[in-house]
Structure 1
Amino acid sequence: MKSRLLSPRALAVAIASTAAAAASTVAHAQSSVTLYGIVDVGLNYQSNASGGRLFAMTSGVNQGSRFGQSGSEDLGGGLKAIFRLENGFDVTNGKLGQGGLLFGRQAYVGLAGQYGTVTFGRQYDSLIEFVSQYSVSNQWGGYISAHPGDLDNFNYSFRSNNSVKFRSADYNGFSFGGTYAFGGTAGDETRNQIWAVGAGYTRGPLSIGVAYLNVRNPNTSLFASNLSSTAAATAANASSPVYRGFLSAHSYQDIGVGASYTIGKATLGATYSNISFRNMGDTTSGPNPARYSGNATFDNAEANFSYQITPAWMAGVAYDYTRGHANNVNGGATYHQAEASTHYFLSKTTDVYLSAIYQHASGTDSTNRPAVAAINVLTPSSSDSIKVVRIGMRHKF
């Protein structure tokens, strides 16, 4: 049998193809990209939505419906390049969430090494990262169980644009970090800036976190972070009556602490936050129809309890108390909120759930009117109380 020799051209093509295949194999061995998402949809009953009962199908109550991709590349020496691009969407109509932003939930790139991770882009601040996990809204209650209007941002309502964030490695259960978001205003580096610091500790059944967030011109920075256009100070970029009247504040600060303790199948949790809208009357920050001045401060406390009845079935209850103190403004408002939920997991990635929530308001809210019940995201009640029942299904992929 005669051997068949390759021509020089064919040999060159074969060598190039082999080299490309080898390079592709190495690249795939060193890099990874993950596609993931959540689809959450269900039916809501609301006892009072601007005066009438409301039945509606809504998306993303227990967890925001989303689609994302994340990835990493091994750079050698224990260093990795990482990224995440994540959007939010409405299952009921297919629209993008977060004001129509393409990657409205998160969009960042960074480096991860032995001492920690640094990332750049649109991301959650350090208060969210170290404290929000202890709030029931981020466990099993969903956004309807968030603190009124999500005034302390424990439910991830607002992101930090143009931000750099660092989180340390885990040192025997202890970690720390910080966030700084550039305001991007020529001649005034502090305008619209956001910064936060936080720390956490986990040891056995105990977990605790503490953080501080400071925001300049919050109406045009933090509360406008879900706009697809440049925010105008003449518009109120938050809709909740709990605090929308305070958006002329020159600055906003949020001190948060949270903790949980697990005993067998039971978990006890609690959070506390102190929120201040400071130096109101700055109309370059936001509108001031009530002509407020001075500071408006809120204290919020939550206690929650959950129990894993079986490996597939859990239940939980929570109570939240919010009290507003408005210096030189009005008498302030008080909100009492109770919530109960149960989840049944059909598989590791699919569950059905039932949630019920009640809120009662009293006093005078930020609009300088009698306070009305205002559950996060939903249409406020026309009275001082509201009841909401949600039955839903969630699938993760």
Structure 2
Amino acid sequence: MLKTSVSLACAAASGCALLCVPAAAHAEGSVTLYGIVDGSVLVTSRTRDSATGQNDGARVSVTDSGLSPSMFGLAGKEDLGGGLTAEFKLESGVNVADGGLNNSNGNLFGRQAWLALRGDFGEVKTGLQYSPFFLALYDLDPRGCSQFGSSLVPYLNNVVGTGIFNANALSYSTPVLAGFQGRAMIGLGGEAGNFSAGRQYSLSLRYDNGTLAAQAAFYDGNGGGTVATPLPTTVPFIGRMLGASYKIGSLTAKASFASYKVAGGFSSNVYGGGLDYFVLPQFDVNGGAWFTSDRNDTGNHSILAAIGANYLLSRATTLYAQLGVVDNHGAMNTGLDVDGRAVDSALYGVHGTTVGGNVGVRHIF
């Protein structure tokens, strides 16, 4: 986030400085440099040994992206006249802990790399982009798809980066009509002799009247194809999602159901919900819980719960603290945090109960 329009994965929108560039006559163009730098200290009572899958004891570590994914990007927009605009985005995930790539498919601009046309007809977009399914996940998360203790953890635990970073994709978003908006995307996979290999498609429908919002989304992705990224983004799975939110003043309640049918892995149902409340304009508290169950063997299940507090020191800088607990039963291995490094990663957990928390700072530019 998505916080992005996602943040996967999930980053908040930010104000950025505009760098003017030459534009054609009768058109206005701009390029915006934007980004997020987020670092934290993470403490966990138990840590998974990647070699054995067993408990490796308590750990304290400096982690990248404790709340939102660290990243930077360029966004461009040109007014073509008649209500039509051309837009592009090139976005890269970075790791503030070691300066490497992170929060992406592993490539330099592995978060987003697309070109779009937008007008009264809606929006047509081509290139590396988020799926409607993942955008629905972000919308329905009461913790804004935090990197710690949110619906992002069981999502990545099931399908890694698939559905977040969709390569070779075409999408269409309708204009908002009477509160409704639809999105459709197809990722053109294919390989010699097999057109459907690596193909990905996703649909969503959203209704929002300003107080009540409801959303349904679908994802279907095949394995194979010619797309090869350092982080797996073509895990074959079928996803379904339903959810709703209700807003009263500064309080927003959200609830959702997601299904991940993963080829060769768990077929999981995830039930989640929680609250987000702005105590003050500069002070936000939120909490959520997610119960994950393997449909093929209900003895494999977990419950993840987390709370967080975010205090805005300025419009650009946020101080945050988060606390969470996850309890795994059977073969379930839900973790607490999305830090993407192989060492000290808390994305995958161990059998039993693990408690953890982090404190950090996020700066948006």
Matched ranges for 1:125-274 at <5 A: 125-139=131-145, 141-145=146-150, 146-148=152-154, 150-151=156-157, 158-217=164-223, 220=224, 226-227=229-230, 237=232, 251-274=236-259
Q: 2-side partners of 1:154 and 1:271: how far apart?
A: 20
Shift of the 27–87 alpha-carbon distance from structure 1 to 2, 3 Å rule, reads farther
Shift of the 39–394 alpha-carbon distance from structure 1 to 2, 3 Å rule, reads same
Q: 2-side partners of 1:334 and 1:265: how far apart?
A: 33
Query: CA offsets, 1:189-245, max 9 Å, x none?
Result: 11110001111111021112111000111xx579x86427xxxxxxxx49xxxxxxx
Q: Tell me the amino acid that sits aligned with residue 374 of structure 1.
A: G
Deviation at 1:254, TM superposition (A): 0.3
Deviation at 1:96, TM superposition (A): 1.6
- Conservation of the 8 A alpha-carbon contact between 1:296 and 1:324: yes
Q: 1-side partners of 2:271 and 2:160: how far apart?
A: 12
Deviation at 1:354, TM superposition (A): 0.4
- Conservation of the 8 A alpha-carbon contact between 1:160 and 1:225: no
Query: CA offsets, 1:60-90, max 9 Å, x none?
Result: 1211001011111122222211100000001
Unaligned runs of 5+ in 1: 1-22, 229-236, 239-246, 281-294, 366-370
In the alignment, is residue 103 of structure 1 matched against residue 112 of structure 2?
Answer: no
Query: CA offsets, 1:276-316, max 9 Å, x none?
Result: 125x4xxxxxxxxxxxxxx8421111111121111111111
Shift of the 155–207 alpha-carbon distance from structure 1 to 2, 3 Å rule, reads farther
Report the counterpart of residue 47 of structure 1 in structure 2.
45
Report the counterpart of residue 291 of structure 1 in structure 2.
none
Aligned residue-pair number: 329
Match of 1:324 among 280, 294, 298: 294
- Conservation of the 8 A alpha-carbon contact between 2:117 and 2:123: yes
Q: Tell me the amino acid that sits aligned with residue 348 of structure 1.
A: R
In the alignment, is residue 90 of structure 1 matched against residue 95 of structure 2?
Answer: yes
RMSD after superposition: 2.7
- What secondary structure is seen at the aligned counterpart in 1 of 2:196? coil
- Conservation of the 8 A alpha-carbon contact between 2:202 and 2:220: yes
- Conservation of the 8 A alpha-carbon contact between 2:307 and 2:324: yes
- Conservation of the 8 A alpha-carbon contact between 1:358 and 1:385: yes
Match of 1:375 among 336, 348, 351: 336
Report the counterpart of residue 353 of structure 2 in structure 1.
385
Report the counterpart of residue 63 of structure 1 in structure 2.
68
Q: Tell me the amino acid that sits aligned with residue 256 of structure 2.
A: T
Deviation at 1:335, TM superposition (A): 0.5
Unaligned runs of 5+ in 2: 1-20, 49-55, 339-344
Q: Tell me the amino acid that sits aligned with residue 272 of structure 1.
A: F
TM-score scaled by structure 2? 0.82
Deviation at 1:44, TM superposition (A): 0.4
Report the counterpart of residue 276 of structure 2 in structure 1.
306
Shift of the 152–221 alpha-carbon distance from structure 1 to 2, 3 Å rule, reads farther
- What secondary structure is seen at the aligned counterpart in 2 of 1:81? strand
- What secondary structure is seen at the aligned counterpart in 2 of 1:138? coil
Bigger shift: residues 196-205 or 24-33: 24-33
Q: 2-side partners of 1:102 and 1:28: how far apart?
A: 34
Shift of the 190–171 alpha-carbon distance from structure 1 to 2, 3 Å rule, reads same
Instruction: Tell me the percent identity.
Output: 26
- Conservation of the 8 A alpha-carbon contact between 1:132 and 1:154: no
- Conservation of the 8 A alpha-carbon contact between 2:171 and 2:183: yes
Q: 1-side partners of 2:325 and 2:362: how far apart?
A: 23
- Conservation of the 8 A alpha-carbon contact between 2:310 and 2:318: yes
Match of 1:350 among 310, 314, 317: 317
Shift of the 260–72 alpha-carbon distance from structure 1 to 2, 3 Å rule, reads same
TM-score scaled by structure 1? 0.76
Q: Tell me the amino acid that sits aligned with residue 250 of structure 2.
A: K
